[in-house]
Amino acid sequence: MILRYIHETHIVKDKGHWMNREDTAAIPWMAKYERNPYPDKIVWRQEEVVLPFFYWLGVSKDEAKPGMRVTVSRSNNNITILENDYKELTLFLNDKMFDLDNPIIIIYKDREIFNNKVDRTKQNIQESLHDRKDIRYIFPSKLTIRNNSDVD
């Protein structure tokens, strides 16, 4: 699988992570692009600083370790999990990504593990806003996959 990402790199001599504001040169370049908060495919590999959320995915901070991976894709109301190193993986869902009035289907390695409607709840909305602090990441529905087979 070949992944391509738009990027531009500038190495500034004698500067480490702190660049004394020379990194502001990136702002005009970044302004040409718009963030897609709901990509159709996610390849998430934890690095040295582990994160509990990535786009519309979530994992336990306690379980996350450097090197752990998740690869998922979505199309219409189908979610395909190609790879998942976690005992628990949460999928956050909203009406911009899926038709939540119809069943969501989850496939793990060619096996259907979920095919049902999901509830929208006020609690999910409040939790996602509290956790993410970003209006694009408000999710009224979520599903948690346990051991790549049980879904609730």
Mean pLDDT of 10-25: 79
What distances in angstroms separate CA 138 from CA 7, 9, 120, 132, 141, one per listed residue? 28, 32, 11, 8, 9
∠ Cα 26 30 34 (to 5°): 170
Has residue 17 got a pLDDT over 80? no
Which residue is listed with tokens 């709840």? 121
How confident is the model at residue 55, as a pLDDT?
Answer: 96
Confidence band, pLDDT 50/70/90 cuts, at residue 103? very high
∠ Cα 80 52 65 (to 5°): 90
How confident is the model at residue 3, as a pLDDT?
Answer: 61
How confident is the model at residue 99, as a pLDDT?
Answer: 97
Parallel, antiparallel or unpaired: strands 141-146 and 88-93: antiparallel
Mean pLDDT of 1-9: 71
How confident is the model at residue 146, as a pLDDT?
Answer: 95
pTM of the predicted protein model:
0.84
Has residue 82 got a pLDDT over 70? yes
